[in-house]
Amino acid sequence: MELPKQVKVGGLIYEILAQPDLMRETDHIGTTKHANLLVTVDATVPLQVQQSTLLHELLHCISNVYLNPDNLTEEQAYHLEGGLFQVLRDNSEVTAFILGGMNGSQ
Ligand SMILES: [Zn+2]
C-alpha cells in the first residue's frame, strides 16, 4: 500500500511526498510545511508507522486550516494521533459508519 499523493484540507490541497530515510536524515518520521502545502512521510518505516504518521501530519494540516491561530501543540497532535489511530482501526463498524456514503459506497 502506497502513500496517497495528496490530501484536501479545507480549500487547500497538500501534496504528500514519500521520502526514503527521512527519519535518518532529519530525526522526524513525518513533516509538514504549510507554506509549501507539503506533507512528507518516511517511506522506509513499517506501513502502520507510515499510516499513523500521516494521520499525525493531517492533524497538523487540519489544525492549520481550522484551528488557526490556536493550533494544536505537538503533544496534543501526538496524543490525538494515537487515540484516533487506535479507535478507527479497532472499530471498523464505527469507521465505516463515519465514512459511509463516501466514494459511492454505503
Ligand atoms: Zn507533529
For residue 90, report the distance from its CA to the centre of ligand 1, in Å: 23
Does residue 1 lie in a domain region? no
Q: Which residues surround ligand 1, an ion (CB under 5 A)?
A: 74, 77
Read off φ and ψ for residue 7, nearest 5 degrees: -145, 135
Give the DSSP letter of residue 1: -
Strands 12-19 and 38-42: parallel
Range of the structural domain that residue 58 is part of: 6-99
Does residue 104 lie in a domain region? no
Q: Look up the CATH number of the domain holding residue 83.
A: 1.10.10
- pTM for the structure as a whole: 0.91
CB-based contact 70:64 (threshold 8 Å)? no
CB within 8 Å of 78: residues ≥ 6 apart = 56
Does residue 87 lie in a domain region? yes
Domain count, the chain: 1
pLDDT of res. 101: 79
For residue 4, report the distance from its CA to the centre of ligand 1, in Å: 19
Question: Which SS3 state, helix, strand or coil, does residue 10 take?
Answer: coil
Q: What is d(CA 17, CA 104) in angstroms, rounded to the nearest whole number?
A: 27
For residue 101, report the distance from its CA to the centre of ligand 1, in Å: 30
Task: Dump pLDDT digits (tens) for 50-88.
Answer: 999 999 999 999 999 999 889 999 999 999 999 999 999
Does residue 28 lie in a domain region? yes
Q: What is d(CA 78, CA 72) in angstroms, rounded to the nearest whole number?
A: 10
Mean pLDDT of the chain: 94
Does residue 53 lie in a domain region? yes
